[in-house]
Amino acid sequence: MIPTAFDYRRATSVAEALALLQEGGPEAKLLAGGHSLIPMMKQRLAEPGLLIDIGGLDELRGIEEQDDGDIAIGAAMTHAEIAASELLRAQAPIVAETAAAIGDAQVRNRGTIGGSLAHADPGADLPAVMVALDATIAILGPNGDRQVAAEDFFQDILTVDLEEGEIVTGVCFAPCRSAAYAKLEQRASKFALVGVAAALTLDGGSCSSARVAVTGASSHAQRLGGVEDALAGASLPDGAASAAAGAGDGLEFVNEDLHGSEGYRRAMTAVFARRAIEAAAGRG
């Protein structure tokens, strides 16, 4: 529980953070809430030579409705702040509720949405929500800014579409009331053993289209295409169970550990897909 030696710099602007990242090269790591990075450093699973603290940067803060009606969340917003946001509670309650269900109070008070997305723990909750909401991840790097769709951003275990020297600056998504997230907690870590986010487009009692994403069960957050297809045109909530029934079967790779075997996680993917769909439909 004692990290190796490292340097620490607190950036005063995103521009300075980018410059420091450039300067530091592969040794440099960004620090925001530190609730993924610091435990890894204490276990010496990560040994960065330089920490660049971007946690307090005003440029990375804020939860705002943009001119086009989309909602943008700054990367440095904590889970607790997201959970408390009136805007999110009204326009995208899935985001506030998911943030409120992350870890424990200490984690929520320190951990940030940008950190969670960039770190991409296979059991993190927010990645599935962002994929289901078809969110865009905003990235700033030495060559300017770019936007990546969430479903393309998450690539593999702890692996995202982020080049060396780049910073996640925020996320942006369209408001969506009929969306919900349901998870089975890993009892020690409170990460998702299986978590499913469902965002539905409802037309009366039926679902015209859906985006459904899973986290925890597999290496990274990803869409459950089979469930989405089955939901198109389904009447809800009655059709939720049959649409979700095969949710786990389509997953190519399923995690397995002390807390859940592959078979259990596949089965739970179907259970939590159905629960998420039912909850989302209930919001219609």
**Would you tell me which residues interact with another protein (CB under 8 A)?**
1-2, 4-5, 39, 43-44, 104, 184, 187-189, 257-261, 264, 267-268, 271
Min CB(271)–another protein separation in Å: 5
Q: Name the residue nearer to another protein (CB basis): 202 or 241.
A: 241
d(CA 195, CA 212): 11
Tell me 255's DSSP state: -
Which residues partner with 51 through β-bridges? 8, 29
Q: How far is the CB of 264 from another protein (least distance, A)?
A: 4
Residue by residue, DSSP assigns 108-130 as: HHH-BHHHHHHH--TT-SHHHHH
Task: Output the smallest distance, CB 5 to another protein, in A.
Answer: 7
Q: Between residues 186 and 209, which has the closer beta carbon with respect to another protein?
A: 186
Q: Closer to another protein at the Cβ: 43 or 208?
A: 43
The single-letter DSSP state of residue 186 is: P
User: Which lies closer to another protein via its Cβ, residue 164 or residue 257?
Assistant: 257
Residue 54 Cβ vs another protein, minimum distance, rounded to whole Å: 25
Both tokens of residue 233? Answer: 């045109």
CB of 166 to another protein, least distance (A): 28
In the complex, the smallest distance separating the C-beta of residue 255 from another protein, rounded to whole angstroms, is: 13
Looking at the Cβ atoms of 72 and 267, the one nearer to another protein is 267
Q: Which is nearer to another protein, 39 or 282 (CB)?
A: 39
Whose CA is closest to 82, among 129, 140, 137?
129
